[in-house]
Structure 1
Amino acid sequence: MTIVVTGPDAPTGTGAETPRRVRQGRSLSDRFFRGVFRLAGVVVLAIMLLVGIFLTLRALPALETMGWRFLTTQEWDPVGANFGVAGVLVGTLLIAAVAIVIAVPLAVGAALYITEYAPRRIAPILVNLVDLMAAVPSVVYGIWGLYLLEPRLLVVGEQDEGLPRWLATYFAWIPLFRVDDYDPREPISDGAFTSSTFIAGIIVAMMVTPIIASVMREVFSQAPVSEREGAYALGATKWGMIRSVVLPFGRGGMIGGTMLGLGRALGETIGVYLVISVVFVIQPHILQSGGGSISSLIALKYAESNEIGIAGLMAAGLVLFAMTLIVNFGAGLVISRSRSGAASDA
């Protein structure tokens, strides 16, 4: 890159006082890479736009048939022209909420330990292990949840009292934890608690924790060294420094990472499909058997659907696509307006 200076210091020979101007002449390599990166950004936006247009066009027959009732109907009967995503939409939000409530504390703890407490020799190993969790296929998490997690959550020792039953017994006054027709004083089979939103949410939490932890780890590591040393100079302990410097600096990144994890949680398919029993009515009790998500609905019904049914599934995919876009754009906006986001951009 060459810099051309014009003004009083420029060798013009005229002696005229003119405002100083600095022009940057970019080299060929600079212009090439600038064009490549700009093209890559345009291609990504074009692909997203084409996906939205494709889903909209394929979903038009269903949207014309149902209209806004598609978002409020609690049934899936394309043959009878009565179908909607109200039940699975609520199930999607509940599964994602359970996942985020579990994943965020785990991610914050993992990120803080790696950046602040782990010895230098161990920290890279932990980083690789956390990143490796994100590379595990979702079907593996689904199998783990179906054959290992669920039986051990439902049955604990000889008392045959698992975590879901304990929550339903002592926290039934909270509507989310209530199970219909469940009496703690009477024996009940574990079938009332299997294939629940709670179990699916735990599985999804294990999937999104690495993503959230990676974002938070990068943000925490960028906390200004001068502010860290200033906190120590004022007599702060390690935790005091983290609480007064690292966490406030990384607040935007924490929110952004959480929202990115939420976007991933909304679209999980196989892990949820293997565990949960899809129902099309609104199921607000997360411990009770039955639930569903939009992605599991598409995986369940795609092979057996007729033309209008396929259009309905495309409409469901369009709803999920819009939800994910809103969450991810919100995450980007939060990160860009935070101190951590400004520092990372620099």
Structure 2
Amino acid sequence: MSVVVPGLGQPSDSGREPGPDEARLAPRGRIEPVDRLFRAALRGSGAVVLAIMLLVGVFLTYRASQALGVAKWSFLTTSAWEPDSHHFGIAAVLTGTVLIGLTAICIAVPLALGTALYISEYAPRKLKRTLVSLVDLMAAVPSVVFGLWGAFLLQGHVTGLSRWIATYFSWIPIFEVDGADPGDPLQTATVYTSSTFIAGIVVALMVTPITCSVMRETFSQAPAGEREGALALGATKWGMIRAVVLPYGRSGVIGGTMLGLGRALGETIAVFMIISPVFAVQPHILQNGANSVSALIALRYGSASEFGMSALTAAGLALFLMTLVVNFIASSIAARSRSGAGTEA
């Protein structure tokens, strides 16, 4: 700031008009109308989404109130499904839903993670575009196509793998198969068909594309400076990925996994075409017989009475709440591990 010497007649800086650059860089005290409109549109969109979710929950609760008023807390502990005799519950179908979803995620996450890393880090530029298109096209394949493929092609080839797992890992409770003798080579393979394991494989292939896409987009945004710095310090390609790309993409891995789990929990047609429905808690994933909430609704929707529809709506409400809880947990985990949190900007 210049000092005005009395008597010299020099103008003071305080009365000088700001130049064009200074006017452009000066902070503005008011918000432009376009910014106000954009902010209002964003807030309105968020409010609409929340309102729709709330209305869905209210609708399901209202339609399910009749059945829930009769079943009360036994709705969560009963395995049978006989709504017309007021003896019904979701213990069996809810357990089957969780087991199918977890089986699918255990298969899909390593496959999606490896594919995403190869596309973003190793694939040549020309091949990368082709692979991205193929992965995105897999997500557009209808569920019924996966169901037909799993029921008529995959199932016949996976029973051998199921038998091998049951033979050598039956000491793990979930891999045990009741009534199966691994030492009998003539035993029929029907004890291994229509199982949670086969349904989980099919669902895993259905959720892999969307999980891979989320991971790939996150990995591709890792800072180029940190990549080059790690390589310049002598790190190998894998060392750079482990030190820079994976920590930066942690939230993408979590988000993609939970997004895939949310779809796996609600998958209907493919699971319905593969499993053999049983209304008993089935903890053995290799054994014939499984069930899920969505498959139950598809199976009983056409022949349900008015009270039966209320019971099916109650099952749908349980699946709705479980999906919300999964997404809330995923958001909480991702908020603590934002992309780039483990790296310096």
TM score, norm. by length of structure 2: 0.89
- The correspondence of residues 205-284 of structure 1 with structure 2, limited to 5 A, is 205-284=204-283
Deviations 1:30-51 (A, max 9, x none): 3333322322211111111100
Hey, what does 1:134 align to over in structure 2?
139
Q: In the alignment, residue 195 of structure 1 is paired with which amino acid?
A: S
Give the distance between the partners of 1:105 and 1:143, measured in 2 at CA.
24
Q: In the alignment, residue 213 of structure 1 is paired with which amino acid?
A: C
Hey, what does 1:325 align to over in structure 2?
324
Out of 163, 172, 177, the position equivalent to 1:174 is: 172
- Aligned residue pairs total 322
Q: Does 1:55 align with 2:68?
A: no
| Distance 1:11-1:300 versus aligned 2 partners, 3 A rule | farther
**How far 1:336 moved relative to its partner?**
3.1
Q: In the alignment, residue 282 of structure 2 is paired with which amino acid?
A: Q
Q: In the alignment, residue 273 of structure 1 is paired with which amino acid?
A: F
Q: In the alignment, residue 143 of structure 2 is paired with which amino acid?
A: S
Q: In the alignment, residue 95 of structure 1 is paired with which amino acid?
A: I
Q: In the alignment, residue 78 of structure 2 is paired with which amino acid?
A: T
Deviations 1:280-330 (A, max 9, x none): 110000010001110000000111111111111101000000011111222
In structure 1, stretches of 5+ residues that fail to align are: 1-7, 13-20, 155-161
Out of 104, 111, 115, the position equivalent to 1:106 is: 111
- SS of the residue corresponding to residue 122 of structure 1 reads helix
Deviations 1:102-146 (A, max 9, x none): 000000001000100011111122111111111111111111101
| Distance 1:70-1:10 versus aligned 2 partners, 3 A rule | farther
**How far 1:170 moved relative to its partner?**
1.2
Q: In terms of mean alpha carbon deviation, does 189-198 or 331-340 score higher?
A: 331-340
RMSD between aligned alpha carbons? 2.0
**How far 1:244 moved relative to its partner?**
1.2
Give the distance between the partners of 1:165 and 1:11, measured in 2 at CA.
88
**How far 1:23 moved relative to its partner?**
4.0
- SS of the residue corresponding to residue 33 of structure 1 reads helix
Give the distance between the partners of 1:27 and 1:208, measured in 2 at CA.
43
CA contact (8 A) 1:253 1:338 kept: no
**How far 1:22 moved relative to its partner?**
4.5
| Distance 1:22-1:282 versus aligned 2 partners, 3 A rule | same
Give the distance between the partners of 2:180 and 2:251, measured in 1 at CA.
42
Hey, what does 1:159 align to over in structure 2?
none
- The correspondence of residues 39-78 of structure 1 with structure 2, limited to 5 A, is 39-78=44-83
Q: In the alignment, residue 103 of structure 2 is paired with which amino acid?
A: V
Deviations 1:77-115 (A, max 9, x none): 111101000001110010001100000000000100010
Q: In terms of mean alpha carbon deviation, does 331-340 or 273-282 score higher?
A: 331-340
In structure 2, stretches of 5+ residues that fail to align are: 1-12, 18-25
- SS of the residue corresponding to residue 79 of structure 1 reads helix
Q: In the alignment, residue 178 of structure 1 is paired with which amino acid?
A: E
CA contact (8 A) 1:260 1:327 kept: no
The percent identity for this pair of structures is 62
CA contact (8 A) 1:55 1:315 kept: yes
Give the distance between the partners of 1:209 and 1:262, measured in 2 at CA.
10
Give the distance between the partners of 2:188 and 2:16, measured in 1 at CA.
92
Q: In the alignment, residue 209 of structure 1 is paired with which amino acid?
A: T
CA contact (8 A) 1:335 1:341 kept: no
**How far 1:63 moved relative to its partner?**
0.8
CA contact (8 A) 2:248 2:341 kept: no
- SS of the residue corresponding to residue 121 of structure 1 reads helix
Q: Does 1:195 align with 2:194?
A: yes
Higher Rg: 2
- SS of the residue corresponding to residue 173 of structure 1 reads coil
